[in-house]
Structure 1
Amino acid sequence: MDIALIANPGAGGSTDTDEVAVALRAHGAEIEHFSLDEDDLARAARSGAERVVVAGGDGSIGPAAVVAQALGVPLALIPTGTANDFARSQGIPLEIPRACALAMEGTRRQRMDLGRLSSGCAFVNVANTGISTSAAREAAPLKSVLGPVAYGVGALRAASNAKPIACRVSVDGREIFSAKSWQVIVGVTGAFGGGSELGSADPQDGQLDVAVLPAGSRVGLVRRAWGMRTGTICAQPDVVHERGREILLELPPGTELNVDGEVIPAGRPERATLEPGAFELVVP
């Protein structure tokens, strides 16, 4: 089988491309290598591969899904990042040999929704802003030492010094929130932060979920953290939760987004939309 292997050597788990390639070839793969560079991704989308395999963390999956979508072929995942939230949410094996076997021999495919931002940036888990961006920056230098625990440490540090942000949130043209918030989460799978989740998001329902955590005391952030770790955050009575096909975020200048673990500047305004059933994922 002809494989377009898209790998991110910079992922938290330090992707060993050679190890992945050897494991894939053991199952009959003919491999062409690509990076996450924009030009390389464009070349991958013209490669004629029969299957796209991405080896990396959560931030690598959205761009690879766009390539698979363009080629009209399935996407398979070798999770080699730190959090691997997408893999966990979809039951993808975390061990490289097992993931490679599934990538090559898996016959079950699942249609998955794909989120898009104003910039065209694709995401599969969440795009969120507020305390989460501070947490991501705090966690980044700790990943190589602490692994997934770095996310918890980063969140604790962020909770001690981050400030709420003023925002206006609209869903399908209807304003649902206009005040200060600790965090705004727009979800496809809803999985993020090394084990946190919205709990209500479904990557096959054709809708984005948005949860707004209103500003309040720092002590109250403990309850927020518990809700995210247990997938019950949207059930907390003061959390604003809605679903829709288009989420508009009006944010202060200089605001950043945490998009599948990657921190990028937010658009002004930032518009998140959904492409239902955009790509096929190889699943167990």
Structure 2
Amino acid sequence: MPRRRRILVLLNPHAGRGALGGVTPQQFSDDAGIDAEIIVPDPDDHAVQMAQARRELAEGVDAVLVRGGDGMVAAGVNLVAQTEVPLGVIPAGTGNDFVRAARLPLSSPAALQHLLTALRAPELTTVAVDALHVILRAPGVTREWWVANSLNIGFDAEVNQRAETLRHIPGSLRYLVGLVQSLPRFHTRRMRLQLDEVAHDLDVALICVHNGGYIGGGIPLNTQAKHDDGVLNVSTVGRVSRTGVTLLFPLVYLGAHRLLRPLSAHQATRLRIHIPAGVPVYADGEAVHAPPLGTPSATEDAGNHELQVQVVPGAVRLIHSETVRHTQTW
């Protein structure tokens, strides 16, 4: 008889408080006929939740399930990257770009059934996907973490930062307001990018380092990018007017961004970026380096902060209920 599985569940309290795909974790186990011990750290305090999750992971779990948006997926990836523990995802965020690129169900009910099918099987079937390993070095600070889908640097990160202050505005409208508020201070910054062994000094409005083809809730930035190709994709927007940067977002959303000449696409396996200190950095929709809004760069010397990014092929195993390429049973 197969042993009882231990399943660690991470919930975003803002994406269906206390529920996993519309049911409580206990119902998930009992009513669905899944013979498992369900462990649910307190979702009300993210730091406490992650500390408890790391302790449970050290004791041994058979799978980690997350319910939420790209930020919660990133939390799960940071737990399981380069381990033997598979990850299951129930999307419940505004973006869900990782799920979209990984070709997993986009609706919570469909994703729940997808996971139930996999978890009822005697062995879990998984598919290997890449993750981005990132190191940020700044004066007196070194930080290391994993990125599931995208790393955003510059203007789009500032729009995200402003949108976070507009919680009273519903849904995606807050990003539009954030864009309008960011435009008066918009200007390009001088940054150095080293793609593998080739260095470029560029004036850029923004840099997006992405693992999949979608950002910003389904914007098809580069549909050729795949989560399992072992390639780091880098999109940059160079010198552009305020009108041009305003048009950037709708053009990209419509798939017509090739009409915007300052947008360039690059590929590598390793990347090093030197950025001014006042430039914000977001990873999977969450702030990594977010200086107070309106903070000047202090100096245009690009050596204030350094980001090192490397794609790690097959760093994460996603629970999958279908027969797909590169599957493995656990």
2:194 and 2:259 map into 1 onto residues whose CA distance is 20
- How far the C-alpha of 1:60 sits from its partner, in A, is 1.8
- How far the C-alpha of 1:208 sits from its partner, in A, is 0.7
Q: Which amino acid aligns with 1:274?
A: V
Could you give the per-residue CA deviations for residues 3-57 of structure 1, whole angstroms, max 9, x where no partner exists? 1112232x4x354347441452232142111354342232132142221101122
| Alignment match, 1:79 | 91
2:84 and 2:232 map into 1 onto residues whose CA distance is 23
Structure label with greater radius of gyration? 2
Could you give the per-residue CA deviations for residues 204-233 of structure 1, whole angstroms, max 9, x where no partner exists? 110111111002211112442234213454
Could you give the per-residue CA deviations for residues 55-113 of structure 1, whole angstroms, max 9, x where no partner exists? 12211212312323454132111112222222233343344333222223236532110
| Alignment match, 2:161 | 137
Is residue 2:104 matched to residue 1:100? Answer: no
Identical amino acids, percent of aligned pairs:
23
More helix by share: 1
Gaps of 5+ in 2: 119-123, 136-142, 291-303, 323-330
Q: Which amino acid aligns with 1:116?
A: H
| Alignment match, 1:6 | 10
User: What is the TM-score when the length of structure 1 is the normalising length?
Assistant: 0.87
1:169 and 1:57 map into 2 onto residues whose CA distance is 29
- 1:15 and 1:55 in contact (8 A); partners too: no
User: What is the TM-score when the length of structure 2 is the normalising length?
Assistant: 0.76
| Alignment match, 1:201 | 225
Change in 2 beyond 3 A, CA 1:70/1:48: farther
Change in 2 beyond 3 A, CA 1:101/1:278: same
Quick one: which of 35, 40, 59 aligns to 1:33? Answer: 40
| Alignment match, 1:279 | 316
- 1:198 and 1:231 in contact (8 A); partners too: yes
| Alignment match, 1:186 | 209
- 2:186 and 2:242 in contact (8 A); partners too: no
- 2:98 and 2:148 in contact (8 A); partners too: yes
- How far the C-alpha of 1:271 sits from its partner, in A, is 0.8
Greater Cα shift, 142-151 or 40-49: 142-151
- How far the C-alpha of 1:260 sits from its partner, in A, is 0.6
Quick one: which of 59, 62, 80 aligns to 1:50? Answer: 62
| Alignment match, 2:138 | none
Report the count of equivalent residues: 281
Gaps of 5+ in 1: none
- How far the C-alpha of 1:243 sits from its partner, in A, is 0.8
Change in 2 beyond 3 A, CA 1:196/1:156: farther
Change in 2 beyond 3 A, CA 1:188/1:72: same
- 2:102 and 2:227 in contact (8 A); partners too: no
Greater Cα shift, 229-238 or 122-131: 229-238
Return structure 1 stretches of 4+ with deviation > 6 angstroms. Answer: none
2:180 and 2:19 map into 1 onto residues whose CA distance is 33
1:159 and 1:22 map into 2 onto residues whose CA distance is 48
Change in 2 beyond 3 A, CA 1:214/1:71: closer
